[in-house]
Structure 1
Amino acid sequence: MGGPRSGAEVEHSQGAPGTATTRDGRELFYMRRPGAPDAPTVVFESGLAASRSYWAPAQVAVADRAPTVVYDRSGLGRSAPDGHPRTLQRLAADLGDLLDHLGPGPFVLVGHSWGGPIVRIAAAANPARIAGLVLLDHTDEACDLFFHPSVRRAEKIGQAISSLLARLGLLAFAHRDLLAPLPDDAKAEMRAEGFTVGTIRTRAAELASVVADMTALRDDPLDPLDVPVTVISAGRTSTGMNARIRAALNASHEHRAEQHRLGRHVYAPNSGHLVPTGDPELVAAEIHRMLP
């Protein structure tokens, strides 16, 4: 427990390790790179089943402009599992507990995929400490296709395939393109921690309430934040996201940016859905726009 430790561990590409305790006693593992002390702390929130490690290229690209924090949600990486339903509100509350542990802020929150709605809800819960949001190809309730039964069927098929590959020890090989851009230390940790049977169980737990959670967001919209909000859309199709889905999702991203007075919508032209590893320099550039 406690804050980041010092010593040789600081030499890791993602910084020094630490743990934060949630309101009900679970420990969340995080890593923190130092940066300019007068800059907001940049906190990265991962997509489904993704640990802290795939943020390493973007985190390194931010360099020393600001402190950066990556962490593992409950049941992922080195964080303790959660015996309660993993609803979107609970995920956002856990992020809020991490922010409480890190200090008063301000924070720039960066969310990829399912991490997008998590950071939006966490920011809305305490907007005074938020300096900006960067949403990377995020899941958005304005995308009507998201609610189509075909998407649920695809999720179930993907879950079954991932579960089988994890049991066979082949899931890391299936995601070798994701691993390739990572620094050696983050790559080794993600290979060891990110493709386990437990990871896939956590993915299933987070998927269980996705439709209900997104329906609630659609029916009871969050208030727009009066801070810079950048939405980055992938420019390429990728596994599970054909041209039709990509167009619908990107349209929802444009809509989301338009809801904020300081909203901005940009494309990652050379990246599919995995923008954090596909175009980390663009991610860093948009974060830099929000720093003093």
Structure 2
Amino acid sequence: MINDHTYGPAGFVTLPDGRRLHYRRRGSGGPAVVFESGMGMSGAIWGLVQPRVAERTTTVVYDRAGLGRSDPDPGPRTLDRLVDDLGHLLRGLPDADPYVLVGASWGGPIIRSLAATGEFPITGLVLVDQSDENASEFFKPRARRQFALTRRLLVPMARTGLTRRLGGRLGRDLPADVLHDHLSLDFGVPAARTMIAELDGFLDDLEKLGRDRPRLDGIEVSVISGTKITRAERNQRPGINRAHRVTAERLDRGRFVPAPDSGHHVMFTEPELVAAEIVRQLPHPEQAPNVH
């Protein structure tokens, strides 16, 4: 691997079943900021946020199993399985704790669930337009039909290059090496199959979260919510924003953070806001460099 990558030198953590998870680490000091991506996406989505944070502390960007340069997982990609993999990653990182965890979309429930175990010294969480169990929109017939259609069409779309043409536009401002990873790793057939595997248990796991919400007492949590209503999300976005507010209000130390210029992909459209929320959870944030 190239050692002068934007994210830093590459490393691998080997899981108990022999699978390897790929990660890159850059920066120094603590707490270490660990980035968890959304469904079907590698760590390449953080290319506009990580450099800002690495100026301040240690950063770790990794690829979930079956994504990026990590080995695939032959088992079901349930939320419990994803949380277990992240736990093994943290145990395998040398001299990295304590942690601030950052999760986008489905990454939000993953980092919340891990923090709730109490196993790791986690000082803060940043949820970036997370998949929220309080959003009833996810459980409506329209959304269920959309999920079923996605499962049916995603692999054919990846084979024809359509997913790359549609999704790759968001990353056009990424650093060149991160953009290369994003375009080459996030829109192919392996990534599509992994997304389908993660989507299979999505609604069941989200319903379970609604019944048994992770306890995050004492942990500062920033709930970033994209409040820009685009044509594609006009039926869902208001309800998702309300759900994010509810989540922030129910948390012991929750903070609702609107992202007015963003829909779902805040890390691409307002990376400076995401970085600022991460930095404010680090020690003495007033001494941090200007992340804008």
User: Which TM bucket (shorter chain)?
Assistant: over 0.9
Check the 8 A contact 1:111/1:118 in 2, yes or no: yes
* 2:143 corresponds to 1:156: no
**Structure 2: any 5+ residue segments left out of the alignment?**
284-292
Check the 8 A contact 1:111/1:119 in 2, yes or no: yes
Task: Give secondary structure in 1 for the equivalent of 2:206.
Answer: helix
Could you tell me which residue of structure 2 aligns to residue 10 of structure 1? Answer: 3
Superposition deviation, residue 238 in structure 1: 4.2
* 2:118 corresponds to 1:94: no
Check the 8 A contact 1:238/1:273 in 2, yes or no: no
Could you tell me which residue of structure 1 aligns to residue 64 of structure 2? Answer: 73
* 2:232 corresponds to 1:225: no
Could you tell me which residue of structure 1 aligns to residue 205 of structure 2? Answer: 213
Superposition deviation, residue 56 in structure 1: 1.1
Moved beyond 6 Å, runs of 4+: none
Could you tell me which residue of structure 2 aligns to residue 274 of structure 1? Answer: 265
Distance in 1, matches of 2:265 and 2:213, equals: 26
- Superposed CA RMSD: 1.6
TM-score, normalization by structure 2 = 0.92
1:26 aligned to which of 19, 22, 25 = 19
Distance in 2, matches of 1:67 and 1:96, equals: 18
Letter matched to residue 28 of structure 1: L
Task: Give secondary structure in 2 for the equivalent of 1:10.
Answer: coil
* 2:196 corresponds to 1:201: no
Distance in 2, matches of 1:57 and 1:250, equals: 23
Distance in 1, matches of 2:123 and 2:49, equals: 19
Distance in 1, matches of 2:19 and 2:267, equals: 27
Letter matched to residue 139 of structure 2: F
Task: Give secondary structure in 2 for the equivalent of 1:287.
Answer: helix
* 2:162 corresponds to 1:170: yes
Task: Give me the identity figure in percent.
Answer: 44
Superposition deviation, residue 59 in structure 1: 0.2
Letter matched to residue 92 of structure 2: H
Superposition deviation, residue 127 in structure 1: 5.4
Task: Give secondary structure in 2 for the equivalent of 1:31.
Answer: strand
Check the 8 A contact 1:57/1:280 in 2, yes or no: yes
Check the 8 A contact 2:124/2:220 in 1, yes or no: yes
Check the 8 A contact 1:127/1:225 in 2, yes or no: no
